[in-house]
Amino acid sequence: MKQRLAPRAAAAAAVLTLGLAALTACDSASGSDGPKLGADATIPDTVPSGTVLRVGDPATQTAIEAAGLDEELEDEGVEVEWANISGGPKTLDAFRAHAIDVGSAQDIPPLFAQWTGTDITIVATTNRVDATNHPVYELGVAPGVDVSSLDDLRGKKIAYSPGQAQGALVLRALDAAGLSQDDVELVEIQSVDDVYVNVLGSKQVDVAPLGGTLLTSYLAKYGSDGGTSIPTGIRDDQSLLYAPKETTEDAGKAAALAKYVVVWAKAKQWINEHPEEYAQAFYVDHEGLTLEDGLKVIAQTGQLELPASWDETIARHQETADLLAEEQDHPKLDVGALYDRRYEEIIADALGAGA
């Protein structure tokens, strides 16, 4: 059964009522209990009747529905239950509660899932064309603070979320500037939603990584007071789909996921081709921005690309994991082992065939 996205206010209310107790209560009804599938086994081409794929990815849900691609999922026999869950911490909580089968993230949350005891598998990935000029994040600078380059970070108070992409960006920025954690004051903040905007605007921190709607919101709210932002020049563009290993080990859900990743990839292509429609559907109707601001976010994003080979993506992801292992005292991680490359082939074959 399809669940349509509500406007922002209703969606926010829905999230507030979606506690972990409720998530856990869903487990017995929707958990993975189909035939087991080996990691090297061929993924079944047919989705068993009654298989439900629970997806936490509101942004892609919007694109799929706006493009009419949900009809393709229905034709393939894939029943999707959408959850209004996004962001690394909320997605990981949902994985641990067995509440969703697959979620969307940037490159850091899957690493922290592994480091904190939740085995995951990466099943799809996308990058940004001309990624250095279309970063996910800039460094927001508090009103009255003089930061015009990465060299100016020395001695500054910087908002820092260790388990999220924003935290990794901070470490990359320090590394690029030849600075260490001892050269700045990292202020650990777990939530990166509006909290980052508020602590930066109120000058509780000097610098905070902001992207997308948060960057737009910050500059609109505090720009007149002197709030600014600077680009980092650091590539930070990877986004991906990942799932608990139990999802890809369930033959029925793995089959449904194989159909879903193709539609996911087509939705990314549709966003490239229909920026104004997507801006209206997601940034205006779901996020509450103006169309002008939504189009600004899309312009900042630039075009998305779906790499036919994941080799270069995995290599960059490994570099990030190695940096975090060193800076945050985590064990070394073989990132390549996290990628299920059966799905790489499925996506490449489907898009290459013009499907």
Query: Could you report the per-residue pLDDT of 11-67, keeping only the tens digit for each?
Result: 333 333 344 333 343 443 444 566 899 999 999 999 999 999 999 999 999 999 999
**CA 345 to chain centroid:** 22
- Judge if 8-128+237-352 and 135-230 fold alike in CATH terms: yes
- What mean pLDDT is predicted for residues 319-345? 95
Residue pLDDT, tens place only, 162-190: 888 889 899 999 999 999 999 999 999 97
CATH 3.40.190.10 assigned to 135-230: yes
- What mean pLDDT is predicted for residues 244-256? 97
Residues in the chain: 355
Q: Which SS3 state, helix, strand or coil, does residue 234 take?
A: coil
pLDDT of residue 198: 92
The dihedral of CA 61, 9, 210, 112: what is its sign?
Answer: negative
Residue pLDDT, tens place only, 73-124: 999 999 999 999 998 889 999 999 999 999 999 899 999 999 999 999 999 9
Distances (CA, A) of 263 to 64, 156, 338: 7, 44, 22
> 241, 249, 242, 240: which is closest to 31 by C-alpha?
249
As a whole-number percent, the residues of the chain with pLDDT over 70 amount to: 89
Give the pair of three-digit tokens for residue 182.
Answer: 């001892």
Contact, 160 vs 187, CB < 8 A? yes
Domain positions in the chain are 8-128+237-352, 135-230
For the domain spanning 8-128+237-352, the CATH number is 3.40.190.10
Q: Give me the DSSP letters along 80-146.
A: EEEE---SHHHHHHHHHTT--SEEEEESHHHHHHHHTT--EEEEEEEEETTGGGS-SEEEEE-TT--
Q: State the Cα–Cα distance between residues 105 and 102, nearest whole angstrom.
A: 10
Least confident of 3-12, 148-157, 257-266, 311-320: 3-12
Kindly tell me if the per-residue pLDDT of 228 is higher than 60: yes
pLDDT of residue 191: 66
Q: State the Cα–Cα distance between residues 39 and 339, nearest whole angstrom.
A: 11
